[in-house]
A = this chain, B = another copy of it.
Amino acid sequence: MEQVRTILLHRSVYADNDKEADLLRAYLKDRGVFVVNLMSSPGAGKTTTLTALISKIKDKVRVGVMEADIDSDVDAIRIAERTGVKSIQLHTGGMCHLDAGMTKTGLDEIDISNLDIVFLENVGNLVCPAEFDTGASLDVMILSVPEGDDKPLKYPLVFEKSDLVIINKIDALKYFNFDLEKCISYIKARNKNATIIPVSAKTGEGIDEVAKYFLKKIVDFKEC
C-alpha cells in the first residue's frame, strides 16, 4: 500500500467558482478522467459505501479517492487499507466545503494520469457542499435511514443537485421510522431526474446496482 498523504488546501483565489468549475470539467473531459463529488451528512456512510463500491469496480477501472475532511485522516487510510486504491487526504483547514480550485489542487496531487475515475468525498455536511460546484462530472449524495425520510424537505438543494441519491443503511429500515416510498417521492418532487438506489453498505445489498451505474457512466463519459 502506498503511503497516504495529507494535503492542506487553501481557500481558492478565483472570484468566479462556477467558471473555474466549468474549466476543470473541460480539462478532465480532455483527459478522460471521470470525477465524482460525493456528499452526505456526517456518518451517513460515505466511506463504507465507497469501500464496498470500489471493491466491485477496481478490477475493471482505475480508481482514485480524495477524502476531504476538516481535520482527521482516518478515512483516507481506511480506504487505502481496505481497497488498495490510490487515496489521499485533503484537509480543508476548517472550511465546510470544497470549491473547484481546491478540487483541482487535490487532483494535481493524486496524479490523474493513470486513473479512470476519482471519487471526491466532500466534507460531511448537507448545506455548504451543495452550494459550490467542485468541477466534478457527477454529483452523488448518500442519505442514510437513521437520518429520517424528511431530509429532502429540509435540505432541498443537495437533493436538487444530485444525479444519484443512494439511500444507505436499509438493513436498519425495520428499526427506524423511515418510509422509503415517501422519501423517494420527496426526492422526486425536488429532482425528477435523480436516480435513486437503496443500499446497505454493511450487508452489500444494492451495491452491485451502484457499481453497474458507475461503470456505465464511465463508458458514456469516455465515449461521448
Tell me if A156 is interfacial: C-beta within 8 Å of chain B.
yes
Interface of A toward B, CB cutoff 8 Å: 41-43, 69-72, 74-75, 94, 96, 123-128, 131, 144, 146-148, 150-151, 153-157, 169, 172, 175-176
A43 touches B127 (CB 8 A): no
A193 to B74, CA, bound (A): 25
A124 cross-chain contacts in B, Cβ below 8 A:
41, 126, 154-155
Q: Which of the residues B41, B144, B154 comes within 8 Å of A71, measured between beta carbons? A: B154
Minimal beta-carbon separation of A169 from chain B (angstroms): 7
24 contacts across the A-B interface (CB closer than 8 A)? A41-B41, A41-B43, A41-B124, A42-B148, A43-B144, A43-B148, A43-B151, A69-B154, A70-B155, A70-B156, A71-B154, A71-B156, A72-B150, A72-B154, A74-B150, A74-B153, A94-B127, A96-B96, A96-B128, A125-B125, A125-B126, A125-B127, A146-B146, A146-B147
Nearest B-chain residue to A128, judged by Cβ: B96
Q: Taking each of A69, A71, A75, A154, which has the highest tally of chain B beta carbons within 10 Å of its own beta carbon? A: A154
In the complex, A21 Cα to B74 Cα: how many Å? Answer: 34
Tell me the nearest residue of chain B to A147, going by C-beta: B43
**Assuming A69-B154, A70-B154, A154-B70, is B42 touching A126 (CB within 8 A)?**
yes
Contact of B131 with A42 in the complex, beta carbons under 8 Å: no
- Bound-state Cα–Cα, A123 to B96, Å: 13
Compute how far the CA of A154 lies from the CA of B71 in the bound complex, rounded to whole angstroms: 6
Closest to A178 in B: B43
Complex contact A96–B156 (CB within 8 A): no
- Contact status of A42 and B128, CB under 8 A, knowing A96-B96, A169-B146, A175-B175: no
